[in-house]
Structure 1
Amino acid sequence: MIGARAIKTLLGPKWTTWARTVTHGLERPVWGNLRRTSPISPSYGFERGTPIDRFYVDRFLSARRALITGRVLEIQTTDHIRRYGMDVAKADTLDINPAFNPTYCCDLARADIVPTGQYDCFLLPNTVCCVRDLDAALGHARRVVRPGGVILVTAPGFVPLTPDVTEYWLASAEGWRVIAGRVWPDCDVSIATHGNCLAALAAMHGIAVEELTAQELELTDPRYPVMVTIECRVPN
């Protein structure tokens, strides 16, 4: 009788794996046009529809419309304030790039020009991953929000890196819990993951939201965090 090692030597690794899948009734991949080393869309799916990560950003902020109220600060533009805000008294922006004409032109990690306790809500959509001095940035975010206010953060996980922007922090939910516990020890922080294996694959390939079903996108598998969302409530 030929031993397993001899069969493996005879067949080689590729055909040994094939034989193993057949013998054990294992599901075999049908690659189609996914067997490639470049993504289907190099621009995250913008030209096809809505990028996968935006589905989770939109769901997170849409569910918290009541918190995006009063005086609200957002990074770069007021797009999310205008889309999700309710009874917004004032909408301000912060960005390091003067081309966006922000209310405060500065690095969030050095945002001393922003008054303390000025805002009811601070929106940080897909921003914290790009801030080198993360602790200082999150410390300023906490400082500028009034007691009883809220900081809403979305942090990408399984998504392609942006070529023209340096991204430093792509942490798991547990990683963000460690960071939040360090920089916001007195706050009530809720952290959740969003996504699954299919959503992660779609995000990496630049497949659009419209090419998957809501059921496929809504299923959450914590092992494949396409997006991590953070809600930080500042104590009164």
Structure 2
Amino acid sequence: MASRLKSRININIGQFASTKPLSPYFGFDRGLPVDRYYIEDFLARNQSDIQGTVLEVGDAAYSRQYGGERIKVQDVLHVSADNPEATIVGDMSQEGVLPEGHFDCLVLTQTLHLIYDMPAAVRQMRRALRPGGVALVTVPGITPVDTGEWGHCWYWSLTPAAARKMFEEAFGEANVTVSAYGNVYAATSFLHGAALSEVRKEKLLPYDPAYPVVVCVRAVAT
């Protein structure tokens, strides 16, 4: 989800004492949200996996950005047929929504937490991948909850330990790599809806396992 970056605004730390956030929209209305900085770094590090027959949820923006000409067939999954980009419609936790052994790569950014039966969804992801196929998944850790379209089904936030256990049960321990991003500065900035252009980017880089803002999973089907 691209967003035009606004000019840098210096935030007074006193603003963080407010009971109201700078933005109730994760920071999208101010620029690029902090969590998207982490998500895009994860995808950039694993962009070679985005190739062949690819499925992304919601739209194909990240697949196009990081897969480019390596993608031969692009599908988009959405829970609603109203989405004009959707080539597959349905709840991915339900058997039969995703074709079996069909995809080389699945790209799910900030989506899995909207599915109540997450383990079932992960099992269906594994089923949908060809041998050697890769799932690139990000989920929220410390996060605001959407007050708009997705608030009614915002079921979960995950720790790295929870994500690891869930994916290892479906893919096998040797086939799952879990990483996370965040620290108290990043978490505070994100909770208040500050945009990337408004924070000190170098302070987002150190990782503190007590404050995971984004949890990332790379899982390989065998």
1:1-236, aligned counterparts within 5 Å?
32-86=14-68, 87-101=70-84, 102-164=86-148, 165=150, 166-185=153-172, 188-235=175-222
Which amino acid in 2 is paired with 1:60? F
- 2:61 & 2:55 partners in 1: Cα distance? 11
- 1:31 & 1:89 partners in 2: Cα distance? 48
Deviation digits for residues 144-180 of structure 1 (CA, Å, limit 9, x no counterpart): 1100010000001111011232222211101111212
Which amino acid in 2 is paired with 1:63? R
- Note if contact 1:74-1:93 (Cα within 8 Å) is conserved in structure 2: yes
Q: Secondary structure at the match of 1:135?
A: helix
- 1:133 & 1:161 partners in 2: Cα distance? 18
TM-score after normalising by structure 2: 0.88
Deviation digits for residues 128-152 of structure 1 (CA, Å, limit 9, x no counterpart): 1000111111111111110001000
- Note if contact 2:91-2:97 (Cα within 8 Å) is conserved in structure 1: no
TM-score after normalising by structure 1: 0.83
Deviation digits for residues 24-64 of structure 1 (CA, Å, limit 9, x no counterpart): xxxxxx95222111101111111211011100110000111
Which amino acid in 2 is paired with 1:183? A
Structure ID, larger Rg: 1
- 1:100 & 1:187 partners in 2: Cα distance? 36
Structure 2: runs of 5+ lacking an equivalent:
1-11
- Note if contact 1:187-1:232 (Cα within 8 Å) is conserved in structure 2: no
- Note if contact 2:182-2:207 (Cα within 8 Å) is conserved in structure 1: yes
- Note if contact 2:177-2:219 (Cα within 8 Å) is conserved in structure 1: yes
- More displaced, 188-197 or 205-214? 205-214
Report how many aligned residue pairs link the two structures.
206
Higher RCO (CA < 8 A, seq sep 6+): 2
- Note if contact 2:142-2:213 (Cα within 8 Å) is conserved in structure 1: yes
Structure 1: runs of 5+ lacking an equivalent:
1-29
- 1:116 & 1:59 partners in 2: Cα distance? 29
- 1:147 & 1:136 partners in 2: Cα distance? 19
RMSD: 1.5
Identity of aligned residues (%): 33
